Amino acid sequence: MSELIFEKSHEGRRAVYFPECGVESVSLPEKYARTSPAPLPEVAEVDLVRHYTNLSRKAYGVDNGFYPLGSCTMKYNPKINEAAAALPGFTHMHPQLDEADAQGCLEIMYKLSRSLCEITGMDAITLQPAAGAHGEFTGLSLIGAYLRDNGMSARTKLIVPDSAHGTNPASAAMNGFTIVNIPSTPDGFVDLDALKNAVGDDTAALMLTNPNTVGRFDRNILEISKTVHDAGGLVYYDGANLNAIMGIARPGDMGFDVVHLNMHKTFSTPHGGGGPGSGPVGCKSFLEKYLPSPLVCEDNGKYTFFTPEKSIGKVQSFYGNFLVYLKAYCYIRVLGGTGLKQASENAVLNANYMLEKLRDTYDIPFEGSCMHEFVMSLDKLKHETGISASDIAKGLIDNGIHPPTMYFPLIVHEALMFEPTETESRETLDNAVEVMKKLYETAKTAPDTLHAAPVTTPVGRPDETAAVRNPILKY
Amino acid sequence: MSYIPGTARERAEMLADTGCKSIDDLFSCVPESVRLKAPLNLPEAQTEFEVLSDIESIAAKNRQYKAIFRGAGAYNHFIPEVVKSLSSRSEFVTAYTPYQPEVSQGILQVIFEYQSVICRLTGMDVSNAGVYDGASAAAEAFAMCRERGRNKLITFSNIKPQVLSVLKTYACSAGAKVEVIACVDGLADLGALGCALDDTAACVYIEQPNYYGLIENAQDIASLVHEKKAKLIMGCEPVSLALLKTPAEYGADIAVGEAQGLGLELSFGGPYLGYMASTTANMRKLPGRIVGKTTDSEGRDAYVLTLQAREQHIRREKASSSICSNEALCALTATIYCAAVGREGLIEVASQSYSKAHYAAKLFSAIPGFGLRFSGEFFNEFITDCPCDAKKIMSALAERSILGGKILDCGRILWCVTEVNTKAQIDEVASILKEVTAV
């Protein structure tokens, strides 16, 4: 029963009617007209409602259950955020309005920017980037503009640890930088010697996630940023893991010059099945003049737009994903500084709790405690039983749990990365631990049942190779 | 309030289970030197009730108009309630990118339907799952076209300024060039294009309709561009495609555009949705997510994210782009909107917008001083002169809760009319124009 909406179409059916036009109907000259109408579906409202309601039952969100997808911070998305973002006073605002007509929107932008500066220890913020990777692109553009503006165009190398998200090197390449990958230590940290060897006159910047992608805070963070600064480069903070350290430490105080945040991770805005997100970029004052245009300033309660002196231009048509960062504003107001810190503390507590309970069963490649997420390696299990990280993940699905991130970071073989977040209860974590242990036993005793998983879903494992070999990309 | 379910006691017990004595112990890896010594200086936490009423009072500082005659890249269309109702289902809203296809068939199928809708509107062979917005879609399309020695995009001064700005930002960061050439009577100048099309030209970007609302002679442009071995990117407004010749019919290599008009609220500029579609020849250069149809082991139809060898998580610095978001919920909304209004409904939206804009243009331009700036065929936006300070016009309209057109740098006004503007509203604008300029 996976009929497409097109297959439910019947000629002449309608769900929506419009009032009479009321003016003389004019037809478009034939030379400009398409030869045949776009074959869109023709369905009645009830067909439409059932079709998409049934599709929603084949989707799994945070509202359905536990979603410990590492590095994605799938925390609960408070409903009040949705209510705020549905206010007609915001949804009906045209982006081409004059500032005087949109004082409420500008106030949100200004106040949220101030709050994000405080949380990150940065001096200025743009809310324009529409997602994390868009933030990376924007932040690196600032660095590029700064280097060109200061006669340092020869600094073309961007250093990225091998544990980085794929977006880091990809965003760097979009900015014309050459990527220098440096290895991590066996503990998963930045290899200081490798870093010292990599930096030089050609270093543009280091791009770093801290806590890093194996869920650990790099103790040498100040030495890392100093090493790059001493060589004349800048330091970029990938905010993917900020949920571990709100109110505890700030990228700005660790020596970072630029940071991007993910409103859809740390600040509870929903992921929407793959966006819309929001990826604000913060920077130190010496980079503010390069930020995308416009920014908002305040004078006696009146808000106005201004263009930074040497702005890189726009990265999005208007002011970014306004309704998304409005939800983040709402979240920050409800939690306050104390609540944000509590959120981070509990994110770290929940991760360590799960880690401790699983440590005796699964191989944890790194000793000691973790931050808000942890990685396990199923390499040994795979050699012994043939059961891979992916098989365990599919087994979790049959137990009503969304799998953790698989096969990332690349430096850990057969990786599964859990990020429980702070909004899960002990029972939820206990249940997940129990399921993980049960799956481990199944791997040893009845591996075939795991190879066949999942069996409780509308479809089993799709043939991805066939999808690539013979691409069917539309109806 | 942090949306944390655990009680203090439960948390204490959990902490004990981790072997730590205090929460601080959990953070022992964070060096003292970077620890925040004071609490974050943020407004005090408030209850949801208080925060919502505060946000409502901030929203009240925005001015809502009963009628909108402004477009310029964002369009006020009627959004059927069923679209809002279905797209707010929390299974869709709170899901992540469909990495696990078995539990994400609903979202994957919707994206497949979205890709089909975009292909049907544009006539193109392949659509990706969407990108941030129309402007970044244009910039991503430029990146698709660049190859060794061909590093330049040529466009015209009649494209949307916000798109031009984003194109320039992306190009500047990548070390590529954007050349903007002049127009004749608001339309792309073919002569100037011929001169600009040298061996370094990767592609030409035009908008249909363009920023001034005019319909370009895209056929001639396409021939010229292809003759010089460059590619044609067309930025098309999707609602207009219910009527207008498709980018495929013109022979465009890539079609992009802002899909906000397909059921997305104005929302002060976002979230919106950029669509990107191409010929099969350019399929493997498309950035972002793409969903494909396949089968599972039992032969059942199944949908998956596919052709991922293009993407950042596989190719890293060799990827065509770093984009991973596809504004999925916006793509879902656009799909549901297209299915809700349907084949006839979208034609009606486009024809009413077209007819009403022509009625308005005729009426306004008959008023002394408000002549049409350009003589060319237009869709639902047009520019008139303005015999006085255009701000005076806007204030007079605002007094009647009407948002007038956009004032251009030259002092003229860019008007936009859609299906939601009634004849009475258009007549009212005309009478205000008369009143203001009569005194």
CA distances from A337 to A119, A286, A343, B218, B381 (A): 8, 27, 10, 55, 47
Which residue(s) pair with B152 in the sheet?
B177, B201
Of the residues A146, A160, A178, A317, the best mutation for testing chain B's interface (the one with the most B CB atoms within 10 Å of its CB) is A317
The answer to whether residues A11 and A114 belong to one domain is: no
Q: Which amino acid belongs to residue B367?
A: I
Distance CA B212, CA B184 (A): 12
**Residue A420 falls inside a structural domain:** yes
Upstream peptide bond of A294 is cis (omega within 30 degrees of 0): yes
Distance CA B108, CA B294 (A): 12
Print the domain residue range for A389.
342-452
Torsion, Cα A380 A383 A384 A389, to 10 degrees, reads 70
Considering only CB atoms, A56 lies closest to which of B89, B126, B325, namely: B89
The answer to whether residues A371 and A241 belong to one domain is: no
Considering only CB atoms, B169 lies closest to which of A173, A245, A312, namely: A312
The answer to whether residues A284 and A386 belong to one domain is: no
pLDDT above 70 for B439:
no
pLDDT above 90 for B319:
no
Cα end-to-end distance, chain A, whole Å: 16
Distance CA B163, CA A235 (A): 30
The answer to whether residues A434 and A307 belong to one domain is: no
- Among A306, A335, A364, which residue terminates a domain? A335
Domains along the sequence of chain B with CATH: 67-78+343-438 (3.90.1150.10), 81-336 (3.40.640.10)
The answer to whether residues A390 and A283 belong to one domain is: no
Residue A1 has a pLDDT of: 52
The answer to whether residues A356 and A311 belong to one domain is: no
The answer to whether residues A268 and A154 belong to one domain is: yes
Using the Cβ of B432 and the Cβ atoms of chain A, whether some distance falls under 8 Å is answered with no
Interface contacts (A, B; CB < 8 Å): 681
Residue A281: how many other CB atoms lie within 10 Å: 31
The answer to whether residues A302 and A217 belong to one domain is: yes
- Per-residue pLDDT reduced to its tens digit, B59-77: 999 999 999 999 999 999 9
* Strand-strand pairing, A295-299 and A302-306: antiparallel
Q: Which amino acid belongs to residue A378?
A: L
Distance CA A335, CA A350 (A): 19
Q: What is the 3-state secondary structure (H, E, C) of A40-76?
A: CCCCCHHHHHHHHHHHHCCCCCCCCCCCCECCCCCCC
Count of residues in chain B: 439
| R_g of chain B computed on alpha carbons | 25
Residue B317 has a pLDDT of: 84
Distance CA A380, CA A392 (A): 13
**What is the average pLDDT value for chain B, to the nearest integer?**
96
Of the residues B268, B382, B395, B428, the best mutation for testing chain A's interface (the one with the most A CB atoms within 10 Å of its CB) is B268
pLDDT above 90 for B216:
yes
Q: Which residues of A touch B136 (CB under 8 A)?
A: 130, 134, 315-316
Upstream peptide bond of A454 is cis (omega within 30 degrees of 0): yes
Distance CA B186, CA B253 (A): 24
Those residues with Cβ within 8 angstroms of residue A175's Cβ, 6 or more apart along the chain or in another chain:
A137, A140, A141, A143, A144, A158, B173, B174
- Is the Cβ pair A60, B104 closer than 8 Å? yes
Cα end-to-end distance, chain B, whole Å: 59
Provide mean pLDDT across the span B388-397. 97
Q: How many domains does chain A have?
A: 3
For position A174, which CATH number holds?
3.40.640.10
Which residue(s) pair with A69 in the sheet?
A418
- Per-residue pLDDT reduced to its tens digit, B141-152: 999 999 989 999
**What is the average pLDDT value for chain A, to the nearest integer?**
96
Q: Which residues of B touch A83 (CB under 8 A)?
A: 52
- Per-residue pLDDT reduced to its tens digit, A209-245: 999 989 999 999 999 999 999 999 999 999 999 999 9
The H or E element containing residue A258 is strand A258-260
Using the Cβ of B37 and the Cβ atoms of chain A, whether some distance falls under 8 Å is answered with no
Q: Which residues of B touch A2 (CB under 8 A)?
A: 105, 109, 300-302
Partner A, chain B 189-208, Cβ-Cβ below 8 Å: none
- Is the Cβ pair B343, A337 closer than 8 Å? no
Considering only CB atoms, A104 lies closest to which of B47, B61, B110, namely: B61
**Residue A306 falls inside a structural domain:** yes
Enter the ipTM.
0.98
- Is the Cβ pair B135, A176 closer than 8 Å? no
- Per-residue pLDDT reduced to its tens digit, A410-452: 889 999 999 999 999 999 999 999 999 999 999 999 999 999 9
Provide mean pLDDT across the span A283-310. 98
